[in-house]
């Protein structure tokens, strides 16, 4: 009798903490070994440009060039891809300003996609 009274709440608390811990995690953090990040054939226009537009161009466009950086247009992006500052900033490498400046780092797969594209000589694809 007494045992049931104790085990019940303990079970409930354990279950609650397990589920609340998982609730905010994403799939890639929880199961890195079964989640694949496809970095083959990364497309500048289809894969990367939407991220730049959503996360970066607000501060780095023709009329607002924060940090003196303009990422509007492929030619500008390629220049930052080739001088290492694009990757250095999104990968939060030492010696580079961490981008985006507020909030969290871009998802790791997104960073890997940028790297694969840069390593492929930043094609306009």
Residues 6 and 13: their CA atoms lie apart, in Å, by 11
- Shortest separation between residue 26's beta carbon and ligand HEC, angstroms: 18
Note the Cα 90 to chain centre separation in Å. 8
Among 96, 112, 115, 116, binds ligand HEC (CB under 6 A): 96
| Contact flag: residue 41 with ligand HEC (CB under 6 A) | no
How many residues bind ligand HEC (CB under 6 A)? The answer is 19
Contacts of 118 (CB under 8 A, 6+ apart): 81, 82, 86, 87
Spatial contact of 62 and 72, defined as CB atoms under 8 Å apart: yes
Q: Under rule CB under 6 A, which residues in 55-74 are in contact with ligand HEC?
A: 55-56, 58-60, 66-67, 69
Residue 107 to residues 28, 49, 111, 124, Cα–Cα distance (Å): 9, 15, 7, 23
Scanning 3-11, 38-46, 95-103, 115-123 for contacts with ligand HEC by CB under 6 A, the matching segment is 95-103
- Shortest separation between residue 17's beta carbon and ligand HEC, angstroms: 34
| Contact flag: residue 42 with ligand HEC (CB under 6 A) | no
Q: Which residues make up the interface to ligand HEC (CB under 6 A)?
A: 55-56, 58-60, 66-67, 69, 80, 85-86, 89-90, 96-97, 99-101, 106
């Amino acid at each position: 009798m007494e045992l049931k009274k104790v085990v019940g709440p303990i079970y409930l608390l354990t279950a609650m903490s397990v589920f609340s811990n998982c609730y905010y995690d994403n799939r890639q953090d929880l199961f890195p070994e079964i989640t694949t990040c496809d970095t083959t054939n990364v497309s500048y226009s289809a894969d990367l440009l939407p991220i730049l537009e959503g996360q970066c161009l607000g501060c780095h466009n023709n009329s607002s060039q924060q940090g003196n950086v303009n990422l509007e247009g492929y030619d500008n992006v390629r220049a930052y891809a080739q001088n290492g500052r694009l990757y250095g900033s999104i990968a939060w490498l030492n010696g580079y300003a961490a981008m985006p400046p507020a909030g969290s780092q871009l998802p790791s797969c997104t960073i890997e996609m940028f790297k694969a594209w840069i390593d492929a000589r930043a094609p306009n694809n």
